[in-house]
Chains A and B, each alone.
Chain A
Amino acid sequence: MKVPAAGAVMSGQSFATLSGRQGRIGELLGAGGQGEVYHVVVDGLPFALKWYHQHYTEIDTGLRLRLERGVRRGAPTTDFLWPLDLVEVPGNSSFGYIMPLRKSDFRGIRDLISPPPHRLELTLASRIILCQQLAHSFFELHAAGFCYQDINFGNIFVNPDTARILICDNDNVNIDGADASIYGTRKFMAPEVVRRESLPNSRTDLFSMAVLFFYSIFGWHPLDGRRENDISVLNPELEMSLYGTNPIFLFDPDTDENGPVDGVHDWIVARWQSLPHTLRQLFIRSFTVGLHDPSLRVLETEWMNILNLIPGSIHICHDCSFEHVISIELKKPTAPSECLCCGEAPEYSPILLLGSRIIVLNIGQEIRAEHLDSADDATTIMAKVESHPTRANLIGLRNLTNAPWRVSLPEGTSHIVPSGQAVRIAPGTTIEFGKSIGTISDVNMLEPTS
């Protein structure tokens, strides 16, 4: 016979939330060291209830205060499965909180590193969009004066079809600078936390977030290189050295001591080389000077400025499907002259250059208001790449705005493209979209370098 732990609740039990809503406990969804999560119905609507083990509430004495503050302040963004209300049950000295229910089409991003067939396969664009959303949500949390304290891939869920994210386990969120309730999760903690010289705060969050971004894009840890590969049995002393006392970035430009190993890290090296210089610089800062000086860590706004440019600028190898980001090097849209994965010669589509943004003009590609510095809602579709109705070798960009565009063709003539019509896509063409001016260009091919 199973003996319920002290403070446990049972399916079917009724409860009232602290703000007076009526609920009933449904099926058990999951259980862990802190407590259990149940499906509940509150005022006729489905939610999740996290119910703490009584012993956990006795250890974490600040828990109740943090949850009450969280409920009062509300979620920083809709990406957070945030505490909505506290729950007590008569005759039970423990407590819990109500949060939105995570839908079944979301998967934990820990699966990005699961062995096949359970591995979560996401396109590079989805991985970048995932990081963008995380940066935005953690920025809103930090700008409100809070810190998360335990950023790791166990707390983040993604819908693989839409790349939409959810951030769970928000019960450690506290005022930035207050005494933390936990140190964090192995391999995600900032070195000063691993060494127990600091408690988690917004600056250690920034380190954990950079690790999460590296994991999300590479499926690999940024500090695991040759040194980790040479270890046959990892013990606490070695772990302290790798992540605490002597951490070295896999791609540290100043030392090869922990660099990639041929035959082991090849795919990670190819992905590194496929990313824009600007993004690589943010990782280098995060995992070189940012390892030792928390004030030099990359802020969410800096990540967002770079990440926002990437999703539209990805070329997919026709032979092996490896993804390359076309980026601006020496003022020209540039990409490697051979696929970084299979070595085949790529056939790049023309691109549209809008300031520092590159959009690959493949059929179906949309250009949105946010790309054109337009006052319309950011996601409004302003233009779309289509094939010519009768001439299969021609593609065009259709004007989906209400205003005409002026275009200058490479042969030197100018035309008006009325709303609803398309203009042929040919390198050397300039298009005036209201405030923004775009230039259609070929991709400059560069011999790959390390």
Chain B
Amino acid sequence: MQGDRIASLNYAMRTALPELRNVAADNPEVDVRMSVLRFSSTAEWQIEAPEPVENIQWTDLKAEGETHMGDALRLLAARLTPEAMPGRQLPPVLVLASDGYPTDDFESGFDAFFAADLTNSAIRLAIAIGSDADNDILGRFIRHPDLKPLKANNATDLVKYIKWATTAPVKAASSPTNSPNPLQEFAQEIDEDQPVTSDIIW
């Protein structure tokens, strides 16, 4: 990636961070931590040990020629194991930001990634960089019928997806399918013997 694309990626990550910090601050019962993996001509962990999100500052990526996404996916796969992520935790959230044009062997990278133990329980999101980003590659990472890659100018929506994805299981459990019609319940609760006077409702 180069030029305006790398600048766009950097800006997307910079704007997503304060939103993530806000979520962390609003949910003190959850310890939100983050690792950062960068890939260009190589792939390497920038922040390997998960760091509390409030401590993370984005260091701008520099433009470099290659996009070794396959290497990145293999490196990520090694982390998505119960041994590498011990203990009780919420599903990991994986965010891939790229223009989506890998220059290495990404097929074997995808194979290794989807073979990892925790990949399927992870929430996978993507940010498409540039107006002509390759959404097919990013879509293969997301592998979800309803989720599309985000654009750099709505990177803050990451937080909405993460909130949705982490609270959906809780909501499903507390909302049985045989519950009565919510509107009907609504009507029954009304205080029917209270006259509706023109001083209150008109």
A residues touching B (Cβ–Cβ < 8 Å)? 73, 139-140, 142-147, 175-178, 202, 295, 299-302, 388-389, 391, 394, 396, 406, 409, 413-417, 421-424
Contacts and interface: CB of A to CB of B under 8 A. Distances in A.
B11 A140 contact: no
Contact of A424 (B8, B14, B152, B201): B201
A424 B19 CA distance: 38
Contacts of A145: 3-9, 11, 152
17 contacts: A143-B151, A143-B155, A144-B4, A145-B8, A145-B11, A145-B152, A177-B7, A177-B60, A202-B11, A299-B15, A406-B189, A413-B194, A416-B187, A416-B190, A421-B202, A423-B201, A424-B201
Given A142-B11, A406-B186, A415-B196, 8 more contacts: A143-B8, A145-B7, A177-B6, A299-B18, A302-B18, A414-B189, A415-B201, A424-B201
Interface of B, helix, strand, loop or mixed by DSSP = helix
B83 interface: no
A247 B106 CA distance: 50
Interface in B1-58: 3-12, 14-15, 18-19, 57-58
A116 B98 CA distance: 53
Interface string B170-199: 000000000000000011011100101001
B60 to A, nearest CB: 8
The 3 closest A-B pairs by CB, nearest first: A145-B4, A145-B7, A145-B8
Given A406-B186, A415-B190, A422-B201, A144 B18 contact: no
Contacts of B60: 177
A417 B186 CA distance: 12
Interface residues of B, number: 34
A295 B57 CA distance: 8
Contacts of A175: 3-4, 7
A406 B10 CA distance: 46
Contact of B19 (A301, A415, A416): A301
B156 interface: yes
B121 interface: no
A414 B190 contact: yes
Contact of A143 (B12, B187, B196): B12
Contacts of B151: 143
Best-surrounded residue of B12, B14, B187, B189 (most CB of chain A within 10 A): B14
A118 to B, nearest CB: 37
B201 A143 contact: no
A388 B14 CA distance: 50
Contact of B202 (A140, A302, A422): A422
B7 A202 contact: yes
Contacts of B200: 409, 415, 423-424
B201 A176 contact: no
A147 B7 CA distance: 9
Contacts of A146: 4, 7
Interface of A, helix, strand, loop or mixed by DSSP = mixed
Contacts of B19: 301
Contacts of A144: 4, 8, 152-153
A78 B89 CA distance: 45
Contacts of B12: 143
A295 B18 CA distance: 12
Interface string B60-91: 10000000000000000000000000000000
B16 to A, nearest CB: 9
Contacts of B57: 295
A421 B8 contact: no
Best-surrounded residue of B11, B14, B60, B151 (most CB of chain A within 10 A): B11
Contacts of A413: 191, 194
Contacts of A417: 201
B201 to A, nearest CB: 5
B21 to A, nearest CB: 10
Contact of B194 (A143, A177, A302, A415): A415
A301 B199 contact: no
B199 A394 contact: yes
A424 B199 contact: yes
A140 B6 CA distance: 15
B107 to A, nearest CB: 29
A388 B18 contact: no
A143 B153 contact: yes
Interface in B121-155: 131, 151-153, 155
Nearest to A174: B4
Contacts of A302: 18
Contacts of A415: 190-191, 194, 196, 200-201
Best-surrounded residue of A73, A391, A416 (most CB of chain B within 10 A): A416
B189 to A, nearest CB: 6
A396 B202 contact: yes
B11 A143 contact: yes
Best-surrounded residue of B4, B60, B194 (most CB of chain A within 10 A): B4
A301 B14 CA distance: 10
